[in-house]
Structure 1
Amino acid sequence: MITIEHTGAVALVTFNRGERRNALSLQAMQELTRVAESFKDDGQTSCVVLTGTDKEFSSGVDLKDPARWDINDKTLDERRSIALWGSRMCKAWEEVPQLTIAAIEGLNVGGGIALTLACDWRVMGNSAYMLVPEAQIGIPLGWHTVPRLVNLVGASRAKQIILLGQKMTSATALECGLADWLVDDGKAREHALMLAEQASKTPRAIIKMSKQSINAHANALNHLSCFMDVDQALLCNQSTEATQARSSFGKSAS
């Protein structure tokens, strides 16, 4: 599902679930979290490139994953633990000490966007697109993504992205700050690796200290504003309205 290739000071992490358009199952989130955490004690790597397949980065959280959704028989503590994995995954990638670059081809939806916003930079293929459908499936945008989104696009644009649920082209993503580079289709990984190679010429300690300093300033209030988003999601996603919305959304998307 996940492979790691090292070339000098650059690591390439490829997420390829092989099914469900790279949807984020609970198992996938757990594996991606552990991969991110493995870089904390990696003294040889300066930059990490995270990518999906040539057709999609991710179609978002797997709405057909029983491990994630069939939890009515679980205690509240167990349900919170399961629901927290998305936040843990994104936090783990945000806290990777090395510079992180997401290379995005094809679609990137919901939880996939949350994951890429936890990276430092984003490279998109020209035909790639983004979609944030959480509100349309009956839950608020979670995984501590709201403050990251607001930091990049501002409050008004964040509300539009979340509440309108409209497809965003790569050009729109670049214009509003969700993408940093646009490249020809099929070239996102190559361009991200080129950027990583260029950045890795900077002394490794300087990369890490600079990232830590910038993130400390940019993200200072993030946790305060979203520490309860998992509880909001739990409250909403078990409602009748959310169950019906997920069912309708799944039929329209299939």
Structure 2
Amino acid sequence: MSSAMQPLDGDWPGVRLSLDDAVLTVAIDRPGARNALNAATMESLTEIARRIRRSSAFQAVILTGQTDYFSAGVDLQLSSSRNASSASLLELRSAVAAGPDMCQAWEEIEVITIVAIEGFCVGGGFALALACDFRIMAEGAFARLPEVPLGMNMSWRTLPRLTALAGPARAKQVALFGDPVDTARCVAWGLADMACPKGGALAEAQRWAARVAALPPLPARMTKEAVNAAAFANAAAVSFMDRDQYLLASRSEDFREGVSAFLTKRPPEFKGN
């Protein structure tokens, strides 16, 4: 174990780590669950990001998934189990902070972060990818935010990031309709930075990371911080309540109908309840 990796010693459920020179690769590793983000995996990803936030041992970080997919997002059973629990509203409010905390932790990493996306990148997985600096998408991949059609709002403070990248009208399209956005449209809309052949996302991300690692580290970090400050100056003001909105939406009849319709593969019948 290199000295750079020592602060990351320990067990990281749902995640694999590797280091090549000054480039750290973080791979979501729950193949039996299509890389769904359960509580343990989100905790791992959050703590890793916090530990490396200001580390001088790394010059770039790559976030990736499996060779065939990035992540199926958060397991719907996690939301259902929360609603079925006897936890207080205050306890539930704390629990649903896991997703936005994870995304914020990744956004706050000082070095450049690059996401390699193969296959599907859905819901919370896409929210996490949007919190990073660059996204490399393979041909045949797609991103999707299915939350609103399932009867909930898009939370995790994702909407300001989505709007900053794609603009308001396209952000509304992606968030409202929940349709898959393929690689070509993601690049055209600013949601991804490069398309590459299928199976080549990680290798292309490694090439980007090598270019980043060759830069002088101090001005590189300062540039990232300055651009993010300009792009997200009002982000907290417009999204600080989205977890409370999620708590409201996830306790509605429409949410239960949306999830039931999804699981039984039938059209939902929403009533505004």
Question: Smaller-chain TM-score range?
Answer: over 0.9
Gapped runs of 5+ residues in structure 2?
A: 1-13, 267-273
1:76 is displaced (CA, Å) by 1.3
- Matching residue within 127, 148, 153 for 2:161: 148
Structure 1 residue aligned with 2:4 = none
- Matching residue within 145, 149, 166 for 1:136: 149
Alignment of 1:109-188 (within 5 A): 109-188=122-201
1:161 is displaced (CA, Å) by 1.0
Mapped contact 1:63–1:69 kept (Cα < 8 A): no
Mapped contact 1:57–1:104 kept (Cα < 8 A): yes
Query: Computing the radius of gyration over CA atoms, which structure comes out larger, 1 or 2?
Result: 2
Mapped contact 1:26–1:67 kept (Cα < 8 A): no
Structure 1 residue aligned with 2:259 = 246
- Matching residue within 33, 40, 59 for 2:72: 59
Alignment of 1:1-254 (within 5 A): 1-65=14-78, 69-252=82-265
In 2: Cα distance, 1:68 partner to 1:32 partner:
22
TM-score, structure 1 normalization: 0.96
In 1: Cα distance, 2:261 partner to 2:135 partner:
31
1:30 is displaced (CA, Å) by 1.1
Mapped contact 1:125–1:186 kept (Cα < 8 A): yes
Q: Percent identity?
A: 37
1:251 is displaced (CA, Å) by 3.1
1:31 is displaced (CA, Å) by 1.0
Q: Kindly provide the CA deviation profile for residues 184-240 of structure 1, in whole angstroms up to 9, marking residues without a partner as x.
A: 111100100110011111111122111111111111100000000000000011112
Mapped contact 2:127–2:158 kept (Cα < 8 A): yes
1:27 is displaced (CA, Å) by 1.6
In 2: Cα distance, 1:207 partner to 1:37 partner:
19
1:44 is displaced (CA, Å) by 1.4
| Equivalent position amino acid for 1:122 in 2 | R
In 1: Cα distance, 2:206 partner to 2:212 partner:
10
Mapped contact 1:102–1:192 kept (Cα < 8 A): yes
TM-score, structure 2 normalization: 0.89
Mapped contact 1:170–1:182 kept (Cα < 8 A): yes
| Equivalent position amino acid for 2:15 in 1 | I
In 2: Cα distance, 1:196 partner to 1:60 partner:
25
1:18 is displaced (CA, Å) by 2.3
SS class of match (2:42): helix
What is the number of residues matched between the two proteins?
A: 253
SS class of match (1:116): helix
RMSD (Å) for aligned C-alpha atoms: 1.5
Q: Kindly provide the CA deviation profile for residues 129-149 of structure 1, in whole angstroms up to 9, marking residues without a partner as x.
A: 111110011111100000000
In 2: Cα distance, 1:34 partner to 1:18 partner:
21
